[in-house]
Amino acid sequence: MPLIGCIADDFTGGTDLANNLVKSGFRTRQVIGVPDSESPNEAVDAVVVALKSRSIPAADAVSQSLAALEWLRRQGCEKFYFKYCSTFDSTPAGNIGPVAEALMDALGVDGTLFCPAFPATGRTVYQGHLFVGDRLLNDSGMEQHPLNPMRDADLVRWLGRQTQAATGLVDHACLSRGEAATRERIDQLIAEGRPLIVTDTLDDAQLTTLARASAHLPLVTGGSGLALGLGALYQPAVADPGQLPPVQGSAVILAGSASRRTREQIEHATTRLPTYTLDPQRLADAFDATLDAVMAWAAPQLGDTPLLIHSDTRPEAVEAAQAQLGVEAAGALIERALATLAERLLAQGVRQWIVAGGETSGAIVQALGIAALRIGPEIAPGVPWTHATTAEGDIHLALKSGNFGAPEMFTSAWEIIR
Ligand SMILES: Nc1ncnc2c1ncn2[C@@H]1O[C@H](COP(=O)(O)OP(=O)(O)O)[C@@H](O)[C@H]1O
Ligand SMILES: O=C(O)[C@@H](O)C(=O)COP(=O)(O)O
């Protein structure tokens, strides 16, 4: 079995992928950013390098991803997996297409798959169109995403706008004919000069078909779902996430995600947990004073009952902040606010964390100075509890992708680690 090297374009995506790899039996190590040194000598089957490269300029995403690839090759990886969002978060400028093409060039491969599907969370692909539950992607709430509004569910067309090379599709009818027919179709598309192959997927069985049919490709790309198929392909020795080492300390939820599901989770938690809503306008006018006010509110309440601190992500609030500050600056301001609060809360003894949103998680994990994550028990498909070490001590941390988890997750997740 080859050692699998994975590059995730955000940190929630990294834990999502690591979680599915562990579920599939792979002993998995997740590192944050490209490490300065080589991996410790421990027996693993898969390594995930989590980057924050989803919403940065395409050229930077390419160079970070190539650096991750080189590091993974030095660790002995032979099969590679580029992980992006199951809702294909990107813009016409990238970064999914440019990064995939650069990885293909660096590996000298002539074709790869694009498989964002994750049926357990309702992400399926039919005739190249991405669905979230029963809605097309462009009608799922993702069309209002603050950084990468997804306004086209046709992935063949969307990916085609990001890349030089031609795109193709392995459709549902082909997949239903099984592994050999699917492999033949993949090879035929590559031979025809259509190396960027979007795949339909309706269920987990088709993820297995895809994993088997693409076993000969050194590089695959997708959401985390395909990792479930890789388990059936390689049948690794069983990895048991087991219980994480216990950690004592107070609990906080930090949410910068503007996703529809996170808004539902906030709504559910607001009536049950002490809650603070960050106003982007106030942050723009008086950043330090606003954070001081949040800390003055939080400090006396820290304890076993989690506190919820979240950005105001009602569509009208996002629109107003972006109109005042610009799209990138508004996002960066809120990320900086939550990251600074995380540092201050860590110093006050917070040791149990849920963070919602991929970009938000990137900012917070970097602020907490975390180098690696150990994957623990699953809260919901795509969301594991993890264990990490910071300069202040060990913590439990769940990085929650925007649209993952049940509406009551912010109040129910804690039972799993306590
Ligand atoms: N009110 C707001 N106005 C503008 N941007 C916001 C607002 N609230 C949050 N954001 C930004 O939106 C982005 C959300 O992305 P992310 O954290 O990946 O979560 P998700 O993808 O689930 O929405 C972050 O950059 C965050 O700082
Ligand atoms: O694949 C997924 O959906 C997630 O792993 C993911 O990347 C989600 O990103 P955010 O919604 O930005 O948290």
Q: How far apart are CA 333 and CA 287, in angstroms?
A: 9
Give the domain range for residue 409: 250-417
User: What per-residue confidence (pLDDT) applies to 40?
Assistant: 74
Confidence check: pLDDT of 81 > 90: yes
Q: Do 172 and 261 lie in a common domain?
A: no
Mean predicted confidence (pLDDT) in 210-214: 98
Tokens standing for residue 93 = 């400028």
Tokens standing for residue 7 = 């590059």
Q: Which ligand is nearest to the CA of 327?
A: 1
Q: Is residue 325 part of a domain?
A: yes
Mean predicted confidence (pLDDT) in 41-55: 92
Q: Do 100 and 203 lie in a common domain?
A: yes
Q: Is residue 243 part of a domain?
A: no
User: What per-residue confidence (pLDDT) applies to 287?
Assistant: 98
Of 185, 204, 234, the last residue of a domain is 234
Q: How many domains does the chain have?
A: 2
Q: Do 254 and 230 lie in a common domain?
A: no
Q: Is residue 239 part of a domain?
A: no
User: pTM score, two decimals?
Assistant: 0.95
User: What per-residue confidence (pLDDT) applies to 390?
Assistant: 97
pLDDT band at 216 (very low <50, low <70, confident <90, very high): very high
Q: Is residue 241 part of a domain?
A: no
Q: Count other Cβ atoms within 10 Å, centred on residue 277.
A: 14
Q: In 3-state terms, what secondary structure has residue 384?
A: strand
Q: Given ligand 2 and candidates 91, 403, 409, which is best to mutate, with the most ligand atoms within 8 Å of its CB? A: 403
CATH number at residue 408: 3.40.980.20
As to burial, measured by CB atoms within 10 angstroms (0-12 exposed, 13-18 middle, 19+ buried), residue 382 is buried
Q: Ramachandran region of residue 235, left (φ > 0), alpha (ψ -120 to 50) or beta? A: left
Of 9, 310, 321, 328, residue with least CA distance to 148: 328
In sequence order, what are the beta bridge partners of 276? 309
User: What per-residue confidence (pLDDT) applies to 238?
Assistant: 78
Mean predicted confidence (pLDDT) in 332-352: 98
Distance from the alpha carbon of residue 85 to the mean position of ligand 2, in angstroms: 5
Q: Do 85 and 219 lie in a common domain?
A: yes
Q: Do 36 and 137 lie in a common domain?
A: yes
Distance from the alpha carbon of residue 363 to the mean position of ligand 1, in angstroms: 11
Confidence check: pLDDT of 236 > 90: no
Ligand 1 lined by 360 (C-beta under 6 Å): yes
Between residues 287 and 242, the one the model is more confident about: 287
User: What per-residue confidence (pLDDT) applies to 404?
Assistant: 95
User: What per-residue confidence (pLDDT) applies to 41?
Assistant: 72
C-alpha distances out from residue 40 to 35, 36, 75, 232, 376, Å = 11, 12, 10, 27, 20
Distance from the alpha carbon of residue 331 to the mean position of ligand 1, in angstroms: 5
For residue 54, the 8-state DSSP code is S
Distance from the alpha carbon of residue 313 to the mean position of ligand 1, in angstroms: 7
Q: Do 229 and 319 lie in a common domain?
A: no
Mean predicted confidence (pLDDT) in 41-49: 89
Mean predicted confidence (pLDDT) in 241-262: 93
Q: Given ligand 2 and candidates 7, 12, 226, 354, which is best to mutate, with the most ligand atoms within 8 Å of its CB? A: 12
Please provide residue 85's backbone torsions phi and psi, each rounded to the nearest 5 degrees: -75, 145
Distance from the alpha carbon of residue 1 to the mean position of ligand 2, in angstroms: 28
pLDDT band at 80 (very low <50, low <70, confident <90, very high): very high
Of 289, 286, 295, 306, residue with least CA distance to 355: 306
Confidence check: pLDDT of 221 > 90: yes
CATH number at residue 184: 3.40.50.10840
Q: Given ligand 2 and candidates 144, 399, 401, which is best to mutate, with the most ligand atoms within 8 Å of its CB? A: 401
Ligand 1 lined by 147 (C-beta under 6 Å): yes
Ligand 1 lined by 325 (C-beta under 6 Å): no
User: What per-residue confidence (pLDDT) applies to 256?
Assistant: 97
The predicted-structure confidence for 188-200, as pLDDT tens digits, reads as follows 999 999 999 999 9
Q: Tell me whether 0.90 is exceeded by the ipTM.
A: yes
User: What per-residue confidence (pLDDT) applies to 54?
Assistant: 96
